[in-house]
Structure 1
Amino acid sequence: MKKKERQAILQKIVHEHLVHTQEELQDYLHEYGVRTTQATLSRDLRELKVTKMRDEYGKSRYIKLTTETQGDAEQRLQSALKTVTKSVDVVDFLVIIHTSPSYGNFLAAALDELRDTPPADILGTIAGHDTVVAFCKDGEQAQVVSDYLSTHI
């Protein structure tokens, strides 16, 4: 089976089913006649931008953050903000963003895609387990970034 066909089936599974583990994903793929290794499955998930997130019940499951805006970095950031952001604060030239547990790096990557793009103008980010620090040129720019991020939570 070709890669595009396998990935289309994988997207369909993630969209239609609550899948909590890669083993479950492989079981669903087998039902569609797709045999794959764990390494190939992991690579497909990365390429499709499918990630594991906690649902409203606190249980981790695979989801695709955006489907129709895959090429648009700003839309991906806005989707990520709505999905994983808890709060946004400003300290001088820093914007401190608290996320759901395990999503600091995920949100930082989305912010980094928009580096030097107004209104963000973020110089860089550092991420932890559930916190992102975005560095701005000055306190005024940090407030602009904070306001932008806060409107999309």
Structure 2
Amino acid sequence: SVLVPMAEGSTVGDLVNTPSVNVERLLVNFADPNKEVDGARSEPSTQHPFLSDKSVREALMLASDRQTVADQLYGPAGKATPNILVAPEKFASQNTSFEFNLDKAKQTLDAAGWTGSPRAKGGVPIKILYQTTINPLRQKTQEIIKQGWESIGVPTELK
């Protein structure tokens, strides 16, 4: 209503409406939170016992139901995406993709030697501490993600 006269009367440029550039994402700690180096934990010089394995990260991605998060928590404004840069659309990568596939996630872990329930390899168990801010939307996201991860044999504690 307010924008229509501006759009119709402009001779200088185009009025463009783009979706929000805000995205929610998970950040992965690649360092070992259990190993102490000079009095500090999670030092970059250490490797995380299981998140340093690309197969584990891939399985977690496959077990993360982004579409349900978008649909249930964000409604029509939500869009599941593998990208950090989502707008303007011409800058969003067309070379990235994601899928929600629990069977493929389990197969990925099995093939990499992470077996059992809970999953473990060489005596190292996969157990995730998933932390976020106190925010109802993020906490609901955590619960959706936790469901997928636990269904592939990855115990997940939420904080």
What range is the shorter-chain TM-score in?
under 0.3
Normalised to the residue count of structure 1, the TM-score between the two structures is 0.25
Normalised to the residue count of structure 2, the TM-score between the two structures is 0.24
Bigger relative contact order, structure 1 or 2, given CA contacts below 8 A and separation 6+?
A: 2
User: Which structure dedicates a bigger proportion of its chain to helix?
Assistant: 1
